[in-house]
Structures are given as structure tokens and as C-alpha cells.
Structure 1
Amino acid sequence: MTVLFYYNEIILPQFLQRPNEQLWGAPFSYGFRPCVKPTAKYKAADRWERYITVRSNGGLNQMRTGISDMVAVARIMNATLVIPQLDKRSFWQDTSIFSDIFDEQHFITTLQEDVRIVKELPKELQSVTRARKHFTLWSSMGYYEEMTQLWKEYQVIHVPKSDSRLANNDLPLDIQRLRCRALYHSLRFSPPIEKLGKKLVERLRLRAGRYIALHLRYEKDMLSFTGCTYGLSHAESEELRIMRENTNHWKIKKINSTEQRIGGFCPLTPKEVGLFLQAHGYPPSTLIYIAAGEIYGGDTHLSELTSFFPNVVFKENVATQAELKEFAKHATQTAALDYIISVESDVFIPSYSGNMARAVEGHRRFLGHRKTLTPDRKGLVEIFDKLETGQLNEGSSLSYLVMQLHKHRQGAPRKRGGAPPGIKGRARFRYEESFYQNPFPECICGSKNKLR
């Protein structure tokens, strides 16, 4: 029998709890496993006397994938890579240096057969003229082979931005696997971050055994940037509009919030996440770790989720003040803690497809296709709007509709997607699925079975 209860004046069915294996079990992996070893024709790195310096831009995961790209670029161009400088001018205003976030010596040592990496330029080269080169986005092997012409005039090339410098597809297998070795093996977080991250995972498991990591991108900057104001007050909507208007590097100022939401371009609201999880059959006692910054509107909007699932925690609830003090005012380092907890979670759910969501999804695929529920935001908006306006009749179960919509969106093995139909030229590169979101098939192999 279906029991009804009220939430925000909408009558919702409380669905029967599904078996634990369906709630928490990883999708069938078809026997796939990570494979990142070089092929037989791959040669060890030479002692190259040409250098690439890099300023790695963006937040944590934009920097991580960008650095992995630059490792591969240095290999292609037969150059020594100088430890990258990190972005200190982005939204986060983080003063962290490379060794604050990553295990620098581990990075150098584990890649020594692939690329020569040094901590700084030799003294005799620190004052020489450098070729300042903005490498073209999503470039192929051939592009970087042409760029080696720069070595005829310069001994040092400086790259002002590192993100998305390599194509997602059609690169040699050994280059693709090098990107995976760099990202998943060599870019290990610094010992203090690794230690606390693992400790927090253990505490979460002691609390409930299993937990969901929810990347809830219901943050002021994201809502302002996307122009998404559904469910907000007029004052909140106006605050976001003013922020967008005053942020110079955000080019689009006038945004239709309704069109954004219907198109699936908005982060799910806390209420929508609650509906989504309930429809999948997760019980109210489920432990949910919020991997995100400050939720816009604080408890006012977060309560729309905790009304469904009261067992919601942030890192501040799991770690002590003394433990977090070391990372205070370093958003990139605290994001690394969220990253560790998300990768190790039993279920990962991103409310929006940003750099963090893509990076965690790809890492979980690499580690054995751990369960990742990726919401179909466009489809969910249609369902939720029908629910709110009473258009769903008794035969149209919310649970059935949501689970049918997501039966193939749980992290099971699949080949990386290309650009949508109709997109041609260089524009297609922007719309391809990111290599780091799904490193299949280059870095995941070994199955004798065929994927459907």
C-alpha cells in the first residue's frame, strides 16, 4: 500500500525501500579494469634541455586535468616540465603553491620514465626570453609536433593557461595512458590532505556504514553565472543579477531563468535533490555528505533537502576545528578533501555537470565503475513540474519515472561520447565528452564481453 505525506503542499508517495544491493551496489562492470601501462614501443624519457613553464588556471579540478595535459604536451614536445605555478587570481583567491596541494616529489618521481620534471628553471635560464604561447584548445598530436619549431629560437616556452590543451579523442594510445598515469597515479594530494581525507572517510563509515557524496552546486556564484533563480525570492534573484552584472569576465548578462531550467542548464535545487533521492528509494536515515561550498540561502534552502533527509553533514561536522584550521582560507585544499570523500563514497551524485563532477565521475569509472548517479536535469524538471501541478496521476509513479530515466546513468561502463549531431568544425571539440570524465577505452580495458 502507498502511504501519502505532505511536503511543501505537494502530496508525495513514500516509496517502498529497495534492496540494499540496488541502492548501493556498483553497476555491472563487465570485467573491465584500469590499464595505464605503456605499450612495448614506448620509450623512456630523455634528458631534454628545453623547458616548459606553466601557470595552471582555474579551480582544483581544472588545474589537475590541465597539469595532466601539460605532462603529455611536454612529452610530445621533448621538453622538461617545470613544476606548474597555480592560479592565485581566480574566484577562489587561493595562495596555495603546488606542494601545498600535491605531493611534489611523488609527482616528479612517478613520471620520471615519461617526462623530466624539475622544481624550477636552471639559474642560467631564469632571465632568458621565453616564448609566451597560448596553446590552442583541444589540439591534436600534430599541432604540438608543429610547435616544436619554437625550439629553434627559444629554450623556454611559457604557457599562461593549462586547461583543455589536448583533444579528447584521436590521440596515440600511449599519450592517453600517460594522461591517466599523471592524473590518477602521480597527482597525489599532499600528505596532510591525504591523511585528513582518509580520516574523514573512516568517520563517515563509522557513522552509517555507507554514505552518499552529494556535490550540491547550489552556490551563489553558480546560480548567478547560470542565471538560475527558480524557487528563490525576488530579493535573492536581484542579488544574483547584480553579482552577474558586476562580474566582468562573465560575458552573458541577461539570462532567462525559466528557459535555463527547462533546458536542463540549472543545478538541481535542494528540494529537487530530495525528490530525486526519495524516488530512488533511499530511506530518510541515509547519510549524505555535502561536497560543496556555502549553500546559497543557508539553512533556509538547505532545509528543503533536510526535510527529506535529516542526516546531512558537511566537512565542518565531521572534522574538528583544529583539523580544519590548517586549511582555512585555502579553498583549493578544502576542495581536495571533498574530492577524496567523493571518490571514496558508496554513491556519488552531482547536482550539476561542472569540473568537479566530471573529474570525480571519471576517477570513479577508472577505479572500477563505482556507482555514480548522474541526474538528467532536463528530464527531471519535466517530471517535477508535472508533480507540482498535479498532472501525474496514480498510475504514473514518480519513483518509476525517475528510475526509468536514470537506469543507464549510474556509472556503468560505456564508450566516451562524441559531439551531439549537427555540431561541426572545431566547435565539436567543446561538446565532446571529456576524456577525464570517461577515460574509456584507452585507460580501461580487459573485458571479453561486449558493451550494449
Structure 2
Amino acid sequence: MTSDPPILKLKIKDLLEDEHTKSPLLRVEESKSEKLLYGELWEAPFSRGLHSCVKPTTKYKATPPWDRYMTVRSNGGLNQMRTGIADMVAVAHIMNATLVIPQLDKRSFWQDSSTFADVFDELHFIKSLQQDLRIVKELPKEIESLPRARKHFTSWSGVVHVAKSDSRLANNDLPLDIQRLRCRTLYHALRFSPSIESLGKKLVERLKSRAERYIALHLRYEKDMLSFTGCTYGLTPTESEELKTMRESTNHWKIKNINSTEQRVGGFCPLTPKEVGIFLEALGYPSSTLIYIAAGEIYGGDTHLSELRSRFPNIVFKVGVGNLEMLATEQELRSFLNHASQTAALDYIISIESDVFIPSHSGNMARTVEGHRRFLGHRKTITPDRKGLVELLDKMEAGLLEASSLSRHVKQLHKNRRGSPRRRGGAPSGIKGRARLRLEESFYQNPYPECICKSEDALK
């Protein structure tokens, strides 16, 4: 009898197939797969030949220089003020009024003392809109003491004062030229001050030098947001009580008693840092992905951020937060400290220029950045379906969904939520009256079709 053949010892080089020995067909398929994944993660949606269009139509007429003036007190955070100012430019044009440079909100939650010129390029604002209406820095001395009409716009002379700029012009059914004026104001005239623009561009360059691509994550996990929404999932009893006390003591927050569980299940809560980490993993982003956190101070600091950092350690803030890296130096930020609207402007610039923008909650910043990115060519913006995500995550935690299948479900849920061109959404069917106006998609979240069009539509 012959003996059994000797046991063959396989070498590593025999187990690992060399790239050059693969068949051409296999290499092509792998290349296609890599490109598909890369595009899914980073590439902007197909724009379908659409581009920004804000030029006036041939029927448009500038506002004549009437001796009527409109003063405005802008309210809210940076983006609420920005969209409100754009609306007030449109209102002043409609009313044939001279607009006085708006006053910024100094009584908001942040108590920011910034003036218009601290945040925006005032001269650029005036010059950019000189073909649309007259804008002055202040009222003429001789009419400063005149009484100002505050409510009735239909019949007035002299000066009208708008106490709040977020009077919410309609999203739809306004004349095309008024809509385009709003876009010219927001996307061209309201340029940030030179110091903000300069530092913002510098920070973008630093991010680009660190990685080929980066995500701007608008992580709305600040104390005021959690308190306002009544969302306490993942917090300690002490933290939950602190937020409740803050909500109850804030006079202008009308709803005091909020069911946190109902809020979360309904999709009304900001995603937690842990939920964001799971979401990004499920979408397919590698752990090495560079993530810029566009937000204020995260509630709970490192305690809650660690749940995101464990999955994505390559995270940076504009300022130092715990052990996280600081993108800007203390000297660069010195003049911006204690001015929330100015630091928010830096976040805005970095978010606009990011390869991917992801907001963890809907709000003025999230909506305005999304709309601006659409205007600039539909740059990739992924808006989480918070209600659907919570349902998936809760099922997985309850053992009703395999962790291995989460990615497939998350990708399916968000296949149409990546910033692709689409017309602005109206109110749900069956809704009428003022409720319809409140439920329409914001004009500044999606300025298509008025300010985004095909070449043949540009000068209608």
C-alpha cells in the first residue's frame, strides 16, 4: 500500500490572491462596486441640468425712492434673522419703502450684542440691492422722532416699524420676481463680514488639508434644544430634571409638560450622539471619516459625545470641547467669543462648503443650509428620517431586528433623502386655512422652482 500524501502546508501568499492574478472581469466588478459605494457616500446628486437663477424678469421694476421708511428689529438666532431680513427686503420692495439697516436681536437666549455690521458686510448688502430698493444705515435725523406705525401696512406715511422680522412671508404663490429678490438677498447680498468670511474659509481649508472629504454634522444636542423639545432619552434623571426646570422657567416657551417618549417616537427629538453614530455606520461611512461638529456646546460634554467618538474618533469642533480637537486657535476666536451669531456664521460657512451636510434635527440652521446647498448645485445633504430611525433602533434593541440587516433598512429609508432635485413640497392634502401655510415646506429650505431652473426658464 502506498502511504497517504503528505499534508500540504499552505502559505499566506497562497491564501491571499494577488491583485495581478485576478481575472480582468473580477477587477472591473470590484472597481464598479468601489465607485458605487464612493458615489453613494460622497458624490452630489445628479442635478438634471438645473442651476441657480435669480435675475429679475423683464417685467421687474425697482422700488422708486419714496420718502417712506421701514425699520426692522430682527429676532431669533442667526438663520432666523437672515431669512427674516430677506423677507423684509421683499416687503420693503412691495411697499415702495426705504429700508433702514435692520437691528439684530440682543434679547434672545444667547444675549448677543452683535450689530448688523459685526455679522454682515453692510456696504455689500446696500450695494448688492441698490437696483431693487434703497437701503440706508439709519433714519434721517429730521424724522427720527416721528411716531411709527407698527401693525397696519395698508395706509401709512413716514416710518413703519417691524418689531419682529420673522413675520413669515408665504412660501408659495408669490410673484416670481419677489421670490427671486428673496434669493438675491439671502444668497448674495447677506454676505458675512470680512473677518467672518476670512476665518471661515481658513477653517474649511484646514479641514480639506486633513482629509479629502469631510462631513459637517449639525448636532443639535445643546441644552436649550433638549429643554425646548422636552427630549430626555439617554439622559440621567438629574439631567432630565435640569432640563425640565429650564423649560418651566422660560416664559416664552408655551408648552411646559411634554411626554419625552411620545416626542421621540414621533420623530420630534434631535438624534442623540449615539444614534447619529449608528446612523452614519449604517449608511456605510468608515470610522476614519472626518466629521466637523457644527453646533454649540453639547449637553453633557464628553459623557454623551463619547458614544459618537467610539465609532467615529476623527471629530473636530471649532473650539476646544473636552478632549476633542480644536479647529481654530484661541487667538483666532478671541474676537468672536460671547457672540453666538458670529460663531454660528463660521459653522454656516463650513457646513455650506462640506462634502456632506447632515442635521440631527430640523431647525432654522438645518433648513437654511439645505436650501443654500440646493441653490449651489444640490450639494449632498442627508436629512435623517428621525421617526423611521427611532423605530428601527428600538426594534433592534428589542431583538426584533438583526443588527446585520440594519444597514440595508437605513439605506432604503434614506434613498430619497440625499438632496436630489425636487420641487418644494406643499401642505398635506386635506389641510386648509392657516394650518396649510404652517405645514408647507419652507421656501428657504427648497427655493425650487423659482430660484433653481433650467436655462429656458431663467428669464420668464
Q: Same fold (TM over 0.5)?
A: yes
Aligned match of 1:353 in 339, 345, 362?
362
Instruction: Identify the residue that residue 5 of structure 1 maps to in structure 2.
Output: none
Alpha-carbon offset, residue 431 of structure 1: 1.1
Question: Any conservation in 1 of the 2:119–2:193 contact (CA below 8 Å)?
Answer: yes
Q: Establish whether residue 252 from structure 1 lines up as the match of residue 260 from structure 2.
A: no
Counterpart of 2:289 in structure 1 is 286
TM-aligned CA distance change 1:24 to 1:164, over 3 Å: farther
Aligned match for 2:409, one of 401, 414, 424: 401
Matched, 1:96 2:103: no
2:450 to 433, 437, 442: 442
Q: Which amino acid aligns with 1:184?
A: Y
Which amino acid in the other structure matches residue 177 of structure 1?
A: R
The number of equivalent residue pairs is 418
Cα displacement (A) at 1:430: 1.0
Cα distance in 2 between the residues matched to 1:447 and 1:164:
33
Alignment of 1:119-158 (within 5 A): 119-133=137-151, 147-150=153-156, 154-158=157-161
Q: For the structure 1 residues 373 and 447, does the alpha-carbon distance in structure 2 shift closer, same or farther, using more than 3 Å as the test?
A: farther
Taking only aligned residues, the RMSD between alpha carbons, in angstroms, comes to 1.4
2:352 corresponds, among 336, 343, 346, to: 343
TM-score relative to the length of structure 1:
0.91
The one-character-per-residue Cα deviations of 1:377-398 (angstroms, maximum 9, x if unpaired) are 000000000111111137x711
User: Displacement of 1:423 after TM fit?
Assistant: 2.3
Are 1:322 and 2:331 counterparts? yes
Moved over 3 A (4+): none
Shift of residue 148, structure 1, vs aligned partner? 3.7
1:381 paired with 2:399, answer: no
- Indicate conservation of the 8 Å contact 2:63/2:97, yes or no: no
CA distance in 1, matches of 2:318, 2:402: 40
For 2:314 and 2:129, the matched residues in 1 are separated by 42
Q: What residue number does 1:12 align with?
A: none
Whether 1:57 and 2:75 are equivalent positions in the alignment is yes
Report the Cα distance in structure 2 between the residues aligned to 1:20 and 1:417, rounded to whole angstroms. Answer: 29
Amino acid at match of 1:414: R
SS in 2 for 1:85: coil
Kept after mapping to 2: 8 A contact 1:45/1:115: yes
**Is the 8 Å Cα contact of residues 368 and 444 (structure 2) preserved in structure 1?**
yes
In 2 relative to 1, CA 422–156 (structure 1 residues): closer, same or farther, beyond 3 Å? same
**Partner of 2:21 in structure 1?**
none
2:26 aligned partner: none
Aligned to 2:268: 265
CA-CA distance at 1:149 after TM superposition: 1.6
Following TM superposition, by how much is the alpha carbon of 1:91 offset from its aligned partner in structure 2, in angstroms?
A: 0.4
Name the CA distance, whole Å, in 2 between partners of 1:193 and 1:96: 13
Could you tell me the TM-score, scaled by structure 2's length?
Answer: 0.89
How many percent identity over aligned positions? 77
Q: How does 1:125-204 map onto structure 2 within 5 Å?
A: 125-133=143-151, 147-150=153-156, 154-204=157-207
- Contact 1:35 1:445 (C-alpha < 8 Å) held by counterparts: yes
What residue is the counterpart of 1:39 in the other structure? 57
Structure 2: 5+ residue runs without aligned partners? Answer: 1-32, 320-325
Q: 1:230 aligns with which of 230, 233, 247?
A: 233
- Listed one character per residue, the Cα deviations across residues 146-202 of structure 1 (whole Å, up to 9, x for unaligned) are x3422xxx3100010011431100000000000000000000000000000000000
Distance 1:129 1:314 in 2: 47
For the pair shown, the structure with the greater C-alpha radius of gyration is 2
Shift of 1:447: 6.6
2:20 aligns with none
User: Is the partner of 2:161 in helix, strand or coil?
Assistant: strand
Matched to 2:136, the amino acid is V
User: 1:112 pairs with 113, 119, 130, which one?
Assistant: 130
